Structures are given as C-alpha cells and as structure tokens.
Amino acid sequence: MNLIKPPYLNEGDTVAIIAPAGEVIYDEIIRAQAYLERHNLSVKLGKNVFKSCRYMAGTDEERVEDLHETFLDKSVNAIICARGGYGSVRLIKHIDFDIIRRNPKIFCGYSDITALSLMFAKHSDLITFSGPMAQSDFNDVTEFTAKSFFNVLSGGSEEYLSTITYSHGNSEGIIWGGNLSTIVSLCGIDFIPDEDFIFFAEDLNEAPYRIDKMLNQLINMKDFRKHCKGIAFGEFLDCGDEKWLEEIFTETAQILDVPAYGGFKFTHAADKQTIPIGAKGYLQDGILSYKMN
C-alpha cells in the first residue's frame, strides 16, 4: 500500500461537516460550526446533514450523496464527520471509491466512522484521521483535543504515550484501526491491509466477553494474524471489569506474539488525540509515533 497523504489544513481553508452515520442535533452542529469559524476556517454544511431516517442522518442515498459531493467539491479542503452512532457500514455498497481516490482531502472521525476510514485506506488508498467530530467534540471541545487536532492536521508531529505494558517490544508498520466493534462489523468485506500494521483499538460500553469475542474474531482471520505487528490499546470506557480486560489484552498480545501497550488517548472520552490512519507508524518502548512521508 502506498497511501495518499491529503494536503494539510491551513488557516482560511474550508471544512465541510457531513453526517454519514447517526442523526444530529441542529444546535450542536451550529455551535461546532461557530467554533471552527472562530479558528479561521470556513465551514460548509452538507445539504443533507440535518435529515433524519430512523436513528440515522437521512437515508443511505442522502448520506452518501453528501459524502461524494464534499469530496468532489474543489473548494473543500477537509471533511469532519458530525458524529458516530450507526450507519456508516450501510454506505459501503453505495460508495464510489474512485471519487475518494481522485480527490484526496482530510477526512476525520472516529467511532462508527471507523468503517469509512478503513475502507478508504483499502479501496481509495487514502490516509484519513481518527479524531474529533463536530457534534461529538467541537460542540464543546477540550483544549487537549483541539490542540492535537490542529497540530496533526496542520502537519505537526505527535507522539502517543502508553500507560500500561502488556508485552514489551518494538515494531513498525502503517497505523491502522479504530473503534473495535465497528472494525469487526466489516468482517466478510475486503478491508484488512496488504502490508504490516500497528493495530490500535478503543471502545465504549462493551462487556469484557464481547471484547474478547471481537478480538478473537480478528485473530482468527489469516491476514490479520499475518500483518499485525504491534498493538496500541486505547481507552475502553464503561466496559466492565478492568482486570479481565487486562487479561484479555495480554492474551491477545501473546497469541499474536507482538508488542502491546495500553492507555493511549484513543477514546470516546472528551480528551482524545488525533491519529493518521495509514501513516507509517513506529511503536517503541510504549511510545507510538508516525511519519507522513
């Protein structure tokens, strides 16, 4: 994989806010728009961003229309997703991945948006970013989160520090991963990289047995076992017995025979770091870093 690095974010650039997944709250999107505009960015809202279809922000066709149109819009420099929830995986069969490949630009989100980021890496050769979203974060963003977001997207360097060691060692490979439950929803689709990667994962409100099951679902995939060379576990919030989680993460590292560290600020919590999916990563003594080529 020789992934495409999108142009960095600069003052005066235009950011589009779209909602590929869950239904949004009008006032919170408007507050996020105002925040970004105060930081010298122009903001465009997807024409369907306030639509509603059950628990999603419009029909599949409406949500993928905004996705395609913002990538095609030459005036847009970056796309920030509104929120997670559910709905991204439903779009995959409708996406024209050539549009994404021919119009590389910043694409940022986490949680359910992981499905799109990993598919863009695999089928559009695009580096994307796991980072804050409009309603979920920029509606009321912390200084920590904003600093990491603007630093990474403007081309600054960033390091990610672990707080716990599950298996010592160093490794390298592209940075790849995101929300664990969303990742396993892609099983059965061609989504795993064809080259070595450092796997990062986080989740929210998942019982330990479900996390165990999801990790083993990935472990049982030949290409995942072959290419996973290191693990960076983020925060698993409200997921039950922490001792059980530590045992599960340690077992996962042992089965894969890779270095693994935890406590990284990849998370659903308010304080989160932005990380490029697809950039060349280096996991050394519990510190994850990257190069954007």
Alpha-carbon distance 171 to 18, whole Å?
35
154 assigned to active site: no
Choosing from 111, 124, 148, 171, which is the catalytic residue?
A: 111
Q: By C-alpha distance, which of 231, 277, 283 is closest to 256?
A: 231
Active site residue 202: yes
Residues 6+ apart with CB under 8 A from 87: 20, 21, 22, 55, 56, 57, 60, 63, 112
Q: Are 289 and 159 in contact (CB under 8 A)?
A: yes
Alpha carbon distances (Å) from 285 to 33, 159, 169:
39, 12, 6
Candidate list 23, 62, 172, 202, residue with the active-site label: 202
To 10 degrees, what angle do helices 242-256 and 208-219 make?
Answer: 10
The residue annotated as part of the active site, out of 181, 206, 235, 268, is: 268
Q: Which residue has the tokens 């790849």?
A: 176
Instruction: Give 4: exposed, middle or buried? Use CB within 10 Å, 0-12, 13-18, 19+.
Output: middle
Contacts of 288 (CB under 8 A, 6+ apart): 159, 160, 162, 175, 198, 200, 232, 261, 264, 275, 281, 282
Q: Active-site residue 268, yes or no?
A: yes
Would the CA dihedral through 85, 187, 80, 71 be positive or negative?
A: negative
* Catalytic machinery residues: 111, 202, 268
